[in-house]
Amino acid sequence: ASEFEALCKASLPKGSSTISYKKNHGQQQEPISKAEILFRSYWRRAWIIGLWLTICFALFTWKFIQYSHRAAFQVMGYCLSTAKGAAETLKFNMALILLPVCRNTITWLRNNPGLNSVIPFNDNINFHKVIAGGIVIGIILHGGTHLACDFPRISGSDRSVFRQTIAANFGYQQPSYFQILSTTEVASGIAMVVLMMIAFPLATKWPRRQSLSLPKSVRKVTGYNTFWYSHHLFVPVYALLIVHSMFLFLTDNLVEKTTWMYIAIPVLLYAGERITRAIRSGFSEVEILKVSLYPGKVLSLKLQKPKGFKHKSGMYIFIQCPQISPFEWHPFSLTCGPEDDYLSVHIKTLGDWSCQLYSLFEE
């Protein structure tokens, strides 16, 4: 039997229709311009992305200027300012990336007509991917600048300049390049990058696809399951992020170690979401009343309506089939009316999961 998550209310952006006609003295107006169509379709996405880019730019600029006036700048120059500016955007994005995948919170916010009219909540996963791209850029700027520029300048700087500027941060002993690499802050940073290099590629479209010709034992650890398992590397990544932030070069003041301030609320919110999902997913079993297979490999499921379950037209449900994957949930629009005493969905077999579901009932 399939299990259900909480209902998520679907929303269509206002003004999403492509052509509008109005009656005017018995005549039809000309269709609206392409520019207006694009504006109506994308303005909500545009202002969110614009706000995100503005915040990232402001954070980068703030730290860049701040470190350009510190004594360490005499040793590392603009490499230091660039690395620290990128680090500040990484703090922000590592906190922000958790919010688009807080499904229950997004559902609750979507129910607010005012917010839903200006924020494209249904683009949450796309925004999650955009933030991930921002994190990749931040890692390249932060880690790459440190490894290729800052650390060589520290180890190779003039001894008198080193003593007058940053010697106190290194115990008054000028370290070699490899000694810097062996420190807690650098080792934890490299470990985070390695874990992300595993998780990021496996989250792309191609690795998530799964061939039905593979043996069942192999399919359990490939496709979506690979994505799911590898994506949970974020747990040690966030643990390493805290460690990394507590052992910083040039920063002894605890007030300046602000990473935990950025991520505390998003991490707690996401943890609460996962606990809520786990409780809801095992709350009750749903009985399959009828299965119909239609031409074109379309599958229809008629399901028992849970007691007290209410829905409106346009809503969708998340379906999981444990026989295929214990982790994989897919949204499908309800094709039944609110007054019906059952739930129904129609599934077109397109991806590996829907093909396996079709084959399961075909047998």
Beta strand pairing status for 23-24 and 27-28?
A: antiparallel
Identify whether the C-beta of residue 131 lies closer than 8 Å to the C-beta of residue 96: yes
pLDDT of res. 2 = 40
pLDDT tens by residue, 14-36: 333 333 444 444 455 555 788 88
pLDDT of res. 215 = 66
pLDDT of res. 16 = 38
Q: Domain-by-domain residue ranges, the chain?
A: 14-281, 288-362
pLDDT of res. 61 = 98
> Phi-psi region for residue 21, left (φ > 0), alpha (ψ -120 to 50) or beta?
beta
**Residue 54 to residue 141: CA distance in whole angstroms:** 18
What are the structure tokens assigned to 188, written together? 């934890």
Residue 262, φ and ψ in degrees, nearest 5? -70, -45
pLDDT of res. 320 = 85
For the chain (363 residues), the mean pLDDT of every run of 10, in chain order, is 38 38 47 78 93 98 96 95 97 98 91 92 94 98 97 95 92 94 96 96 78 62 78 96 90 84 97 87 78 91 87 83 81 90 90 83 81
**Residue 123 to residue 111: CA distance in whole angstroms:** 15
pLDDT of res. 115 = 93
Identify whether the C-beta of residue 222 lies closer than 8 Å to the C-beta of residue 214: yes
Helices first, then strands: H and E counts in the chain: 16, 8
pLDDT of res. 354 = 85
Identify the H or E element spanning 359: helix 352-362
Nearest to 224 by CA among 212, 201, 208: 208
pLDDT of res. 85 = 97
CATH of the domain spanning 288-362: 2.40.30.10
